[in-house]
Structure 1
Amino acid sequence: MPSADISHPDISISSDTNGPRPAKKIKITVSNGLEGYLSVKGHNKTRKSAKPKGKLALLPTLPLDILFEIFSHLLPIDILHLSRTTKALRRVLLHRSSTSIWRAALSNVEDLPECPEDLSEPQYANLAFSPHCHNCLTNNIRNVDWRLRVRYCLRCSKTCLVSDENFELPKTVVKCLAGTNWDNIPGDVYDAKAVLDIVEKINSLPTKDAQRQFVREKHTKKKKIIAHAIRCEDWEEDVADDRANQLDELRAARRKAIEEKLTGLGWGEEIAKMPKTHNHQTRHNRLILLDDLSVVRQPKALTDRIWKNIEKEMVVFMKKMKAYRLELEEKESLKKRRSTVSKIYDEYKKARPHLHSEIVPSAADLCSIPEIKAFIDNQSLDIAGFEDRFVGDLDHLIRRWRSTVIVGLVTKLRDERFGNREVLFQESEAKLSLAISVFVCSEGDYIHYSRLRDWDGPWPERKKRYEAIWYPQILHHRCTTLETIPWYEREEEPDLSTKLGDGFASAFKRKPWSSEKLIFDEKASRVVWKILMACGLNPYQTTAVQLDDLDPRIVCLKCTHGHTCDGERRVQVRTWRKTVAHCMMIHWGDPTVEYEKIADDNVAKARAEEQLYAEKNPKTTPAEPMWTCILCHDTPQETNRLSKSKVDQHLSKHHSIATGLEGRDYRHALDATHEEPPAIYMVPRATKDAPRS
């Protein structure tokens, strides 16, 4: 097998009897040493060096038997280094008579497999212990390929190795050579020089029988090489594990010594409170632990001189760790104080059921009110005094907070389409309740649907739905009060002011109310305007709730190519909300589209046809969860989106409210979070004499 040539190019040691006669051997005695042995061979002329002699300068003068005894106690890497120091030592150590030295050195390595038959002891020691590339002699090459018997750097591996995926190697060659795997080369890898040698040898044999015999011999040798390589790989892994354990023990001893020094300086209590392992918080704050410090993790014993050099650095580190601990303790204390306020607020709401008829601040909102936040942050004040100080003013604070929310939404309304009609709006809340006040949420699908722990189906395609939001549903829209928990806080237990009910996914928490993601949709507002005009209603006075009560059926005249309901053709009718979604998706909110309200006597027929269509096509009109219980809002029992049947069960079980509530009573207890996907139904044609609005 190919291996690195460790012999000097100008020196060759041979036992060929046909060459020149060797010099006369001398008898080795105690008095004659290496210099006398070399002088007989004609190398007694030496140049005097101007450099001063080192401590081992007299080593060559020792007798050979003493040198051999000394060398036999060394490790293989030491013998390799000696053989590369001087020519004199090289000639001696690479001579066949020095085989016993190499064998003794190899035996000094614990559990090292024996030298294979196809390698000499110096070659085996060079392969196992000399960290240089066998092609370019680059140093510090730690990985040994025991199957190929080589060490190659990354650059040389690309030129000295061949892969069976890149080259079509003959089967006879593959059978003769042991293959291996390299990370940067796909397939089984072989040494290129060995492949060429095998090919040349097989081609040089005269007969097929001789070739087959050669392949059989090489295949047998290949099995031995692989078996020996497996043993060497296991030994190498054990050595690496042992070395890693030794380094860990040295690091642990150094850390213990440093902790003892710091304890003597008064940091013992702080050391006991320090985090021992990384968590999300330490990673987020980019905190360096004690074990991660470069001066601590060095595998060296701690001396007085080393401690004197690192003492200031360690004291600065301990001060930073103390500041981090105090920050966490303050954060945990504030969390407990907010939880206490949340409990008091929950009892306050239970004693006042009338609060559930309108939007009220969540516990997160309450804790963010300036007066209450200042009280919570001031840890010198007893949190038990919160009830006596603020409960009497909570009604006022809730009304003030609600007004702030309403005003924030009204500021999003833009009235360019209708001109300056501010005089028609008497109050801010009246503006929001109008049907023409249409909002949409700019939050992504992930936020809307991943909050549903029970959501089994695929997310509705964006192009097939339009989710408009009207008042009062907009006040309870999920994106206004929920947010994703940052990754560095997901290991922590949230306080009660931000904790959600079991119906929500664990990756979300409560946040103070925010209209950041809500956008006023001017196009949809124009569509509603046109629908109201078709129904003969005043856009500045008609609210979304009133339009729901009227429940008209609308025809899109653009889809009928301008034909009105004349009783001569079938038309497609929709509810007013689905008409808005239809225009926004199909006609892109075209303001020129006109609409017509069908006759009142045909509305009942349209509803019956819709019900029949839904019964015949249940899969095309899935009932998505769209209801939530206001009575449970901001409590641990809060539910996520529910279907109407589950809402009825929830009301009966948790609130002792009879099922089957309809109309406004139903909306007082429940709140629709979003509309169902739009659906189109075919209804009977309108009668010719039916009046049109």
Structure 2
Amino acid sequence: MDHPTLPFSDAEAHEIRALYNFPFSLAPTDEILQYPVSVWKQGNYITACIRRGLREEARKAMQHSFPVPRPQDISHLPNELLFEIFEKLHPLDLYHLCQTSKDLRELLLNGEAFSHVWKAAYENYPSIPLCPQDVSLPKWTSLLFGPDTCDTCGAEHAMTDIAFRARFCDNCMDEYYFTRSDLKRVIQTGPNYYGAALSLTRSSTRSSGINYTKHESKRFLRSDVERICQKMQKRAASAESGVLAANIDSSREFSEFLTHKMHTRECNKWCRTQYTLCERMHEATTQALARRFASHKFAKSFDPQELLSPSVTTSLYELFLYSGVRKLRGPTFRSSLTSISKIFSEARVLRLESERTQREHARCKRIHDEFDGYMATMPARNWTYLPLCGRVFNHPIVQAFVFSETADPGPGKRSPTFGEVVCELKRFIVTCFEDHQKDLYAALKIFDSRELNPARYPATVDRVDLATTIFVCPVCQYKAERLGAGESVCIGRRELGLHANCWDPESLPSSYDGSWNVRLRVTPEGTRAANFVVGLLGLDGTTTTAEKLDEIDARFICNTCYLDDECGASGRDTLTWRDCISHQVKMADEDGHDEPSFILLPEEISSCVRFHEQPFPPPNSTIWSCMRCTDHLASRVTRQTVIAHFKQLHSPYAFYDPIEDVDYFYFPQSYEIPARQKVRLPFDTPHRCMRCPEHLNKRLWSWNAVHTHLKDKHGIRAPAESDWKNVQVGNEEDEEVPAPSETECYNSISKFHQMHTINCL
């Protein structure tokens, strides 16, 4: 229990051990996995791993079983014969023989055994690290294969630290190990002594007392640091009198230090290899045990899917690994049955939740497929008026069907069937379409009630289709003003459909507070601009539809806007009739835009403008959809992709070319409506080259540029008036414009010479 109100809640384990003088460490844990120490790590696991390998080798070598001899059975043999026998043993066996009886211990620890038995045993097993010169062979064997008890406090789980030739538990490592910062703080004898001490002090990279994993930095033993400090102080005191002797002593110590460092590195590598081998062996055994658990009688009461799930196998593996279960019987296994039941209870909850999620996803997909199938039976132009899928799934009857087994329908109620959901879904879609149409005509009625002199429309005309009926989407207008994206003006049924779902909660901006109406409304500024444009074309505003003006495809310029000057090109942007209305709505609050003031460009200039315009809608944007199927409703594609899709699936014959607005159409979301790239028309009177062919005769030039073009392209140095033509902006007759003087040409050539084509202007 760990609570701030309890005594010693903030105390560390080594502090409590020092307070009560405990001779053992508290709650040994694996530093890497944060689990209690595994059973295979309890004791010298390297010794256990080697013993297991020796037993397997002996089992394979022995064809028949023999009685195991006792120590007293071989005590009468001569020493020479015993030494020949002992030389064939493993060093681990020699270590165990030393612990069997006093006679064998004395025999193996005398000088003759040192020179023959121990040395030969290590030579027969070269994989074991060689004994260093500063340690005897029996002592080295004890360090490698002795018990895992701390040399300082006697606690368990302390494997040998090869660098220091001793065993330390985690608590003693924290107490007796120094870091580099500690070493630098302790050694303050002179400015150059820190580097010397660092190069002469033994260091270890152990991260814990039981694991052979590397630490992030080197650590030093406190006794070594104290010894090196004393030595540095003595050398500092006798620096003047014994410099040569000190240097010779330092060279010898440095050589010994390098030898010790290389030997420690090789030994640590061998220890880490043995550690990894032990870990893999135990993991393989535990994993096989966890897989065999499915055939145990205790597991027959659980669901087969739970037994075979990876999460259960992993949990059982961890449980068996850290609780010491090696067989599916015995007291250790029986004590783990409660934990096993808990694992399966959690697995059952996860399985039921997964099945519920899969069932809900399958039902949602079934409803989505039905929704797409119903949309395929409707005209493609009406798809934009349909509600969003999120709004469909928020319908109460749809939610009741999807979550029928997870939500309580209440007493006396039953869950709806799929047929009932489909019928209600179709009614809901039709109702949404009708409600949107009612909103449009209600907005027209409100607009007419505010007009002083409302226009009279023929009874056979649907006002929504007229070019003079201009709606605006408040949501897209808000986004355009605050976020700088989106088109708010709606003209015709196609654009009205694109904004049919803007007021849906999923489409509203996050900053919407409900203080303004989100429904479509008729804009008076746009209506006045539309009537003005229709009047310029000489048409009747009460009967002219938006499709009719799209067929005319005329171009205009705003006579109110100030001249732009970008990249040295002065002029006005050319506008389509839809651009004129959007421009007037956006600029209604600006000076000079109280009333619309547009100029209709003659067809001669309009054809030039259309020649230089980029295709619209842009074919490379993902805003296109097939009209024969619903494959592109969820994600639009490019024009080329939808054409390839149509040819592959819907083409009536091999060489049929799909037609726009018949086989595929422009179908963006309201926030994906792209802006048309406008062409800049020069303010000065443009000129046209009469020498170019008809298909290239649509380029417009300044006076200087057309003369340069005639000189460079056609070789005419002194062009006549028949070689070029003035193109008048407006409906006036073309008037002869006198050629400028040489001074005017010189002053303007630097400004107009770089006006290449209308696409640059």
Q: 1:232 aligns with which of 264, 267, 277?
A: 267
Q: CA contact under 8 A between 1:442 and 1:517: conserved in structure 2?
A: no
Instruction: Letter of the 1:114 partner, please give it.
Output: L
For residues 418-433 of structure 1, what are the structure 2 equivalents within 5 Å?
none
Instruction: Letter of the 1:598 partner, please give it.
Output: F
User: Matched residues in 1 for 2:474 and 2:663: separation?
Assistant: 19
Q: CA contact under 8 A between 1:523 and 1:591: conserved in structure 2?
A: no
Instruction: Letter of the 2:651 partner, please give it.
Output: S
User: Matched residues in 1 for 2:390 and 2:288: separation?
Assistant: 49
User: Matched residues in 1 for 2:127 and 2:349: separation?
Assistant: 51
- Are the structure 2 counterparts of residues 180 and 111 from structure 1 closer, same or farther at C-alpha, using a change threshold of 3 Å? same
User: Matched residues in 2 for 1:292 and 1:442: separation?
Assistant: 59
User: Matched residues in 1 for 2:441 and 2:283: separation?
Assistant: 65
Q: CA contact under 8 A between 1:434 and 1:543: conserved in structure 2?
A: no
- Are the structure 2 counterparts of residues 308 and 223 from structure 1 closer, same or farther at C-alpha, using a change threshold of 3 Å? closer
User: Matched residues in 2 for 1:479 and 1:293: separation?
Assistant: 53
> Which residue in the other structure is 2:379 paired with?
354
Q: CA deviation at 1:576?
A: 7.1
- Are the structure 2 counterparts of residues 257 and 187 from structure 1 closer, same or farther at C-alpha, using a change threshold of 3 Å? closer
- Are the structure 2 counterparts of residues 195 and 468 from structure 1 closer, same or farther at C-alpha, using a change threshold of 3 Å? farther
User: Matched residues in 2 for 1:199 and 1:478: separation?
Assistant: 89
Q: CA deviation at 1:116?
A: 1.7
> Which residue in the other structure is 2:301 paired with?
267
1:669 aligns with 2:688: no
> Which residue in the other structure is 2:681 paired with?
683
For residues 129-144 of structure 1, what are the structure 2 equivalents within 5 Å?
144=161
Q: CA contact under 8 A between 2:160 and 2:166: conserved in structure 1?
A: no
Q: CA contact under 8 A between 1:627 and 1:642: conserved in structure 2?
A: yes
Instruction: Letter of the 1:322 partner, please give it.
Output: R
For residues 634-673 of structure 1, what are the structure 2 equivalents within 5 Å?
634-635=630-631, 640-643=636-639, 645-656=640-651, 659=657, 661=659, 665=661, 669-673=665-669
Q: CA contact under 8 A between 1:556 and 1:579: conserved in structure 2?
A: no
* 2:667 partner SS: strand
Q: CA contact under 8 A between 1:441 and 1:518: conserved in structure 2?
A: no
Q: CA deviation at 1:402?
A: 3.8
- Are the structure 2 counterparts of residues 346 and 582 from structure 1 closer, same or farther at C-alpha, using a change threshold of 3 Å? closer
* 1:669 partner SS: strand
> Which residue in the other structure is 1:298 paired with?
323
Which segments of 5 or more consecutive residues in structure 1 lack a partner in the other structure? 1-68, 81-91, 279-286, 380-384, 444-461, 481-512, 564-568
- Are the structure 2 counterparts of residues 650 and 246 from structure 1 closer, same or farther at C-alpha, using a change threshold of 3 Å? closer
Instruction: Letter of the 2:571 partner, please give it.
Output: R
Q: 1:517 aligns with which of 501, 507, 510?
A: 507
1:436 aligns with 2:472: yes
**1:440-478 CA distance string (max 9 Å, x none):** 4999xxxxxxxxxxxxxxxxxx99962336664685699
**1:563-617 CA distance string (max 9 Å, x none):** 9xxxxx8334455777899999xx9x894455454311258636734743769xx
- Are the structure 2 counterparts of residues 333 and 136 from structure 1 closer, same or farther at C-alpha, using a change threshold of 3 Å? closer
For residues 187-586 of structure 1, what are the structure 2 equivalents within 5 Å?
204=239, 217=252, 220-245=255-280, 247-248=282-283, 251-252=286-287, 255=290, 263-264=297-298, 266-267=300-301, 270-274=303-307, 276-278=309-311, 290-291=315-316, 294=319, 297-301=322-326, 305=331, 309-312=335-338, 314-315=340-341, 317-333=343-359, 335-336=361-362, 352=377, 354=379, 357-359=382-384, 360=386, 396=427, 398-403=429-434, 434-437=470-473, 439-440=475-476, 466-468=485-487, 472=494, 515-519=505-509, 530=525, 532-536=527-531, 553=556, 555=558, 557=560, 559-560=562-563, 570-574=571-575
Question: What CA RMSD, in Å, does the superposition of the two structures yield over aligned residues?
Answer: 7.1
> Which residue in the other structure is 1:157 paired with?
179
- Are the structure 2 counterparts of residues 256 and 690 from structure 1 closer, same or farther at C-alpha, using a change threshold of 3 Å? closer
Q: CA contact under 8 A between 1:630 and 1:670: conserved in structure 2?
A: no
User: Matched residues in 2 for 1:478 and 1:187: separation?
Assistant: 71
User: Matched residues in 2 for 1:369 and 1:137: separation?
Assistant: 71
TM-score of the superposition, structure 2-length normalised? 0.47
- Number of residues paired by the alignment? 516
Q: CA deviation at 1:233?
A: 1.7
- Are the structure 2 counterparts of residues 603 and 529 from structure 1 closer, same or farther at C-alpha, using a change threshold of 3 Å? farther
User: Matched residues in 2 for 1:466 and 1:602: separation?
Assistant: 32
> Which residue in the other structure is 2:599 paired with?
599
Q: CA contact under 8 A between 1:438 and 1:470: conserved in structure 2?
A: no
User: Matched residues in 2 for 1:556 and 1:188: separation?
Assistant: 87
Q: CA deviation at 1:653?
A: 4.5
- Are the structure 2 counterparts of residues 119 and 473 from structure 1 closer, same or farther at C-alpha, using a change threshold of 3 Å? farther
User: Matched residues in 1 for 2:227 and 2:545: separation?
Assistant: 89
> Which residue in the other structure is 2:53 paired with?
none
- Are the structure 2 counterparts of residues 430 and 229 from structure 1 closer, same or farther at C-alpha, using a change threshold of 3 Å? farther
Q: CA deviation at 1:625?
A: 0.9
Higher relative contact order (Cα pairs below 8 Å, separated by 6+ residues):
1
Q: 2:130 aligns with which of 94, 114, 119?
A: 114
For residues 165-204 of structure 1, what are the structure 2 equivalents within 5 Å?
204=239
- The worse-fitting range, judged by mean Cα deviation, of 465-474 and 229-238 is 465-474
- Are the structure 2 counterparts of residues 345 and 623 from structure 1 closer, same or farther at C-alpha, using a change threshold of 3 Å? closer
* 1:468 partner SS: coil
- Are the structure 2 counterparts of residues 401 and 357 from structure 1 closer, same or farther at C-alpha, using a change threshold of 3 Å? closer
Q: CA contact under 8 A between 1:357 and 1:669: conserved in structure 2?
A: no
Q: CA deviation at 1:629?
A: 1.0
Q: CA deviation at 1:169?
A: 8.0
- Are the structure 2 counterparts of residues 186 and 273 from structure 1 closer, same or farther at C-alpha, using a change threshold of 3 Å? closer
Q: CA deviation at 1:162?
A: 5.4
**1:68-90 CA distance string (max 9 Å, x none):** x9xx989999x99xxxxxxxxxx
**1:221-243 CA distance string (max 9 Å, x none):** 45433431232122221232233
- Are the structure 2 counterparts of residues 333 and 649 from structure 1 closer, same or farther at C-alpha, using a change threshold of 3 Å? closer
- Are the structure 2 counterparts of residues 172 and 266 from structure 1 closer, same or farther at C-alpha, using a change threshold of 3 Å? closer
* 1:599 partner SS: strand
**Structure having the higher Rg:** 2
User: Matched residues in 2 for 1:370 and 1:410: separation?
Assistant: 29
Q: CA contact under 8 A between 1:147 and 1:225: conserved in structure 2?
A: no
User: Matched residues in 2 for 1:128 and 1:204: separation?
Assistant: 45
- Are the structure 2 counterparts of residues 357 and 172 from structure 1 closer, same or farther at C-alpha, using a change threshold of 3 Å? same
Q: CA contact under 8 A between 1:148 and 1:179: conserved in structure 2?
A: no
> Which residue in the other structure is 2:50 paired with?
none
**1:482-528 CA distance string (max 9 Å, x none):** xxxxxxxxxxxxxxxxxxxxxxxxxxxxxxx9651245999999997
Instruction: Letter of the 1:629 partner, please give it.
Output: S
Q: CA contact under 8 A between 1:560 and 1:571: conserved in structure 2?
A: yes
User: Matched residues in 1 for 2:396 and 2:349: separation?
Assistant: 27
User: Matched residues in 2 for 1:294 and 1:409: separation?
Assistant: 67
Percent identity between matched residues is 12
- Are the structure 2 counterparts of residues 193 and 160 from structure 1 closer, same or farther at C-alpha, using a change threshold of 3 Å? farther
User: Matched residues in 1 for 2:142 and 2:440: separation?
Assistant: 81
Q: CA deviation at 1:642?
A: 0.8
* 1:117 partner SS: coil
User: Matched residues in 1 for 2:470 and 2:329: separation?
Assistant: 80
- Are the structure 2 counterparts of residues 215 and 609 from structure 1 closer, same or farther at C-alpha, using a change threshold of 3 Å? farther
User: Matched residues in 2 for 1:653 and 1:237: separation?
Assistant: 62
User: Matched residues in 2 for 1:646 and 1:591: separation?
Assistant: 42
Q: CA contact under 8 A between 1:470 and 1:544: conserved in structure 2?
A: no
